[in-house]
Amino acid sequence: MNIFEAYNSTKKALEKAGAEDYVFEAKQIIKHITGFTNAQILMNYTNQLSDYQQNRLMALLKQRELRYPLQYIFGEWSFYGYDFYVGPGVLCPRADTETLIEKSLELLKDRKNPEILDLCAGSGCIGITLAKQVPEAAVTMVEKFPEAARYAEKNIVRNSADNVRLITGDIFESAGADKKYDLIVSNPPYIPENEMDTVSPETKYEPETALKGGKDGLDFYRAIIKNYKSALKEDGIMAFEVGAGEAAAVRSLFKDAGFKDTGTVNDLNGIKRVVFALL
Ligand code: GLN
């Protein structure tokens, strides 16, 4: 089987299995198996795969046909151009969350040596990306679960993010609220309890603790606003990723807590994905 044939049969198998982004995934898989860049694949598409590569491809597709996340199969995933270790026990970085990065970078413009707090940090993709994009920033990440924190720790090292400190602690106990921040960001668990069974087959392999946001999905937003408002500098900002349909409710939480200006940002699918508020 040559590279081109492998790509086509991978695409077909993924589509049949119901994988949403089967074209993108097929490309990623061929790159992973061959170790080639996009350009090398284009130049060498008639190359034969070795037996070893074919066996790996078959094994990988078998897992993927069970809808096991491709991110977990690879053990790493790219987010905002940086590479992160991921695996069972930690939420996979998602393209939607890059909206939160874009908005945060815009909000941080003109701030000197900003202090940033990333709550429910998981793999650390948000905090580490901000730390790399704003090298003079000091970033604190808080993650409750040791399984997830281990990924964050490895990702700090992998990305040489020397300006990040990681705290294993609970946002319901105000972990990390020991100093004042310019920006507090979070992509907390936000799926309402009764919608947990509607998540994709891939998400069913991800930790429930990274997904379930209480009865109405808003438990973590309430807790963060309540526990961390006093950890903001005078002109501090909070910015959250929110679930589809949650933006209005989260904006009201901010208004009720006395934040001056609030706003939302759409993700690439036109869903209000980020809510931010200025103190
Ligand atoms: N975006 C994820 C999903 O809908 C949820 C992530 C979260 O709860 N923060 O599958």
| Domain containing residue 186: CATH number | 3.40.50.150
User: Which atom of ligand 1 lies closest to the CA of 96?
Assistant: 1
**16 and 103 within one domain:** no
Say what the pLDDT of residue 64 is: 97
Q: What is the mean pLDDT of the chain?
A: 97
> Which whole number is the average pLDDT over 177-201?
97
Q: Which of 203, 206, 216, 221 to mutate to test the pocket of ligand 1 (most atoms within 8 A of CB)?
A: 203
Q: Which residue segment(s) compose the domain that 171 sits in?
A: 80-278
**37 and 131 within one domain:** no
List pLDDT tens digits, range 215-224: 999 999 999 9
3-state secondary structure 163-194: CEEEEECCHHHCCCCCCCEEEEEECCCCECHH
Say what the pLDDT of residue 37 is: 94
**89 and 176 within one domain:** yes
**14 and 121 within one domain:** no
User: Which atom of ligand 1 lies closest to the CA of 189?
Assistant: 8
**45 and 128 within one domain:** no
**114 and 249 within one domain:** yes
User: Which residue CA neighbors atom 1 of ligand 1 most closely?
Assistant: 243
Contacts of 215 (CB under 8 A, 6+ apart): 192, 193, 194
Distance, in Å, from the CA atom of 42 to the CA atom of 39, rounded to the nearest integer, reads 5
Take residue 237 and report the two structure tokens written for it: 């900002």
Q: Per-residue confidence at 213, pLDDT binned at 50, 70, 90?
A: very high
- Between the CA of 8 and the centroid of ligand 1 the distance, in Å, is 30
**33 and 88 within one domain:** no
> Which whole number is the average pLDDT over 240-263?
97
Which residues does ligand 1 sit against, CB inside 6 Å?
94, 187-191, 199, 203, 211
Domain count, the chain: 2
Take residue 136 and report the two structure tokens written for it: 């003079």
